[in-house]
Structure 1
Amino acid sequence: MSVKRYRKHFIPLESNPDVFTDLIHKLGASPTLGFRDVLTLDEPELLPRPALALILIFPTLEAYESQKEKEEALYEECAGSAREEEVVWFEQTINNACGLYAILHAVCNGDARNFIHTGSFLATLLETCLTPRERALALESSGELESAYATAAKQGDSAVPANAEDEVDFHFVCFAKSSKNSHMYELDGDRKGPVDKGALLGSNDDIFTEGVLGIVREYIQREGGESSNFSLMALVRA
């Protein structure tokens, strides 16, 4: 398995909904959007709603790497433009920033796009960077993003790593709806592109359909069924 080389390194974000919410507001998302912990998959009345996207945090164990390698062999690298894409996908080119890429996937797809302020960092990114390569370069070179991210990474309860190049054992992926169709996509900047999970959402559904929840459960089962090693956040609209 090839090892990805990065030109830039960030301190990893704590998987904390307050930290994630603060960062999306700094980047231009409306205060009406925010992240909430998902504490159960089996009690519908306790799910935070209306949810626009999910971010799953999980250990990068051998089962995940093996599954990813099999799936990667089935499709080509993403190279389309925003005019053709069903979803906006960001290639991860900044080390240890998978939390950032999950946040970007959550707020830049589906109905969440309607809650991005005109003229903000996020709005400019979507309007001017029409290919994955353009988006990757824009994220790497943005001082505004780096400053906002550095502030967010120092928040939370976890100790900040001394070295941004140290590898971490957890990974973040996003599940979000296309703004062009009813399909749900797995969005992971460490893959070749977005993974279409099928038409699991109706036009008026939030993300918590049984089909989407089933995919989350599959992740947990694949890694041995230890749900305590996983956490889940939902991007919700107030």
Structure 2
Amino acid sequence: MADVDVPVGKKAFVPLENNPEVMTSLVHELGLSKGLQWHDVYSLTEPSLLEFLPRPALALLLVFPVTDTYEKFRVEEDSSKEDYSGSGPDEPVVWFKQTIRNACGLIGLLHSITNGGATDYITPGSPLDQLLKQAVPLTPVDRADLLYNSKSLEAAHATAAAKGDSSAPDAEASVDLHFVAFIKDKDGNQWELDGRRKGPINRGKLGPEDDVLSEKGQELGVRAFLQREEQAGGGELRFSVVMLGPSFE
């Protein structure tokens, strides 16, 4: 269900498990410095659990089941927008359109590590560095083709997908969980990045003291999302959040 916009018959990946160890292994293999890793966010409100996390939070990945409420909101919000056509070094963010089925986890990871403060941790000459340099000048359509045809990206994803704690579903399986990334760019804007949308979405300005897990960051990002879903559904929302931040080591 999460990849309904990606036609059947297109390339499909084994879905990536929402597991910080798996995600960390994948981004390190691609070429992100070991100075960063993914962390479970066990609570968005409990101070003691938030204080435990190393900051700044450079990106958040929200994982949630695709509901009718979300689909209605997504379609309505996108209806007034043109398909994003940006490219080049002056883009505020690098956005990837998803054309691989069950690859929303991979797209979310890429959005998290190719934007904002995480770019300072990309190892020169690594597969990630090369991919980003190739992607930046391209249009969204050509950028999607770059990911679709990348053998190194496909191999790294396959290795990571096989490392999960649970039994991985088949690549062609219908999966109802979806990943959305929130990042802060170097000008202080918070972006919602989702390969199923028409393009990147600027959710507002953060102060110098704010990261995407701060009160303001949550207000513009994950909290606004969750409140909308809870109000419409009237019940408990099943979701999880992982954070990209400094390594404990």
TM-score by length of 2: 0.89
* Deviation larger for 204-213 or 221-230: 221-230
1:217 aligns with 2:223: yes
After superposition, where does 1:96-107 map in structure 2 within 5 Å? 96-107=102-113
Tell me the secondary structure at the aligned position of residue 204 of structure 2.
coil
The answer for the alignment partner of 1:65 in structure 2 is: 71
Aligned residues: 234
Letter in 1 for 2:149: S
The answer for the alignment partner of 1:86 in structure 2 is: 92
> How many Å separate the matches in 2 of 1:116 and 1:64?
33
> How many Å separate the matches in 2 of 1:234 and 1:119?
25
After superposition, where does 1:172-187 map in structure 2 within 5 Å? 172-179=179-186, 181-187=187-193
Letter in 1 for 2:78: E
Measure how far apart 1:89 and its partner are.
0.5
* Contact 1:88/1:109, CA 8 A, preserved across alignment: yes
Out of 211, 233, 239, the position equivalent to 1:206 is 211
The answer for the alignment partner of 1:4 in structure 2 is: 6
Q: Residue by residue, what CA displacement relative to the aligned partner does 1:146-171 show, whole Å, maximum 9, x if unpaired?
A: 1111011011211111x312210110
Tell me the secondary structure at the aligned position of residue 79 of structure 1.
coil
> How many Å separate the matches in 2 of 1:39 and 1:83?
36
After superposition, where does 1:52-201 map in structure 2 within 5 Å? 52-129=58-135, 130-131=137-138, 132-161=140-169, 163-179=170-186, 181-199=187-205, 201=206
1:37 aligns with 2:40: yes
Measure how far apart 1:136 and its partner are.
1.2
* Contact 1:182/1:202, CA 8 A, preserved across alignment: yes
Identity %: 46
* Contact 1:220/1:226, CA 8 A, preserved across alignment: no
Change (3 A) 1:137 1:3: closer
User: Unmatched 5+ residue regions in structure 2?
Assistant: none
Letter in 2 for 1:5: P
Out of 46, 49, 57, the position equivalent to 2:49 is 46
Out of 16, 27, 31, the position equivalent to 2:19 is 16
Letter in 1 for 2:184: K
Letter in 2 for 1:196: N
Q: Residue by residue, what CA displacement relative to the aligned partner does 1:133-155 show, whole Å, maximum 9, x if unpaired?
A: 23211111111111111011011
* Deviation larger for 99-108 or 204-213: 204-213
Change (3 A) 1:108 1:198: same
Out of 233, 241, 245, the position equivalent to 1:236 is 245
Change (3 A) 1:108 1:71: same
Measure how far apart 1:120 and its partner are.
1.0
Letter in 2 for 1:102: G
Tell me the secondary structure at the aligned position of residue 94 of structure 2.
coil
* Deviation larger for 120-129 or 86-95: 120-129
> How many Å separate the matches in 2 of 1:204 and 1:124?
32
Tell me the secondary structure at the aligned position of residue 193 of structure 1.
coil
* Contact 2:210/2:217, CA 8 A, preserved across alignment: no
User: Unmatched 5+ residue regions in structure 1?
Assistant: none
Change (3 A) 1:103 1:89: same
Q: Residue by residue, what CA displacement relative to the aligned partner does 1:27-57 show, whole Å, maximum 9, x if unpaired?
A: 0100111100001111234222311010000
Tell me the secondary structure at the aligned position of residue 198 of structure 1.
strand
* Contact 2:15/2:161, CA 8 A, preserved across alignment: yes
Change (3 A) 1:226 1:152: farther
Tell me the secondary structure at the aligned position of residue 119 of structure 1.
coil
Letter in 2 for 1:156: G
